[in-house]
Amino acid sequence: MDYTTLGRTGLKVSVAGLGTGGGSRLGMKTGKTKAQSVALIHAALDHGINLIDTAEQYKTEPIVGEALKTVPRDKVVLCTKHHDVWMRERTPPAEVVAGLDNSLRTLGTDHVDVFYVHSVRPANYDYTMSVTVPALLKEKEKGKFRFLGFTEAGPPDPVHEMAGRAIPEGVIDVLMFAFSMLQQNGRRAV
């Protein structure tokens, strides 16, 4: 396995990470059992993958938590996320913090390595920066997460406007941006 540095964190992560969302959700959406999903995580770790990305919304945090019970916490870079704006509805910071706390309980850990504000759109950027981020930085000071990140909203932000604003401000440590066979302009823009 090859490894690289994750954003501004200094963390060494596998170039291939294990995402727990998408169409499969660790096999749970295709009829796999919880034990099979846990085994999938263990197989990924056995192959050198040390980056696991999940989210409360994916409904896979309990499986990740179960799988990591037998793994030393410092052997995994664990990331989760929560929306602060969803379907144009702004989520009060207290609810985002409650989501973080719930994720920590569900994952069975006292901290995650990266906590992402999920799907930050250009139209919501100012709200995220002025309302959500200050509340989250207080939680970071309490040790609930080590690094702050944003994830990009792919189709609603095809020119990576949010990334163009967030990166120079230096508040976030990690940016998960939209990059696929159909959207490769991030190679130049980000």
Does residue 58 have an active-site annotation? yes
Residues 6+ positions from 21 with CB-CB distance below 8 Å: 53, 54, 55, 57, 58, 60
Q: How deeply is 152 buried, as exposed, middle or buried, from its count of CB atoms within 10 A (0-12, 13-18, 19+)?
A: buried
Beta 112-120 vs 77-83: how paired, if at all? parallel
C-alpha distances out from residue 126 to 65, 137, 162, Å:
33, 16, 10
DSSP state of 2: -
> Which of 58, 116, 125, 127 is an active site residue?
58
**Rounded CA gap, 19 and 24, in Å?**
10
Q: Which residues are catalytic?
A: 58
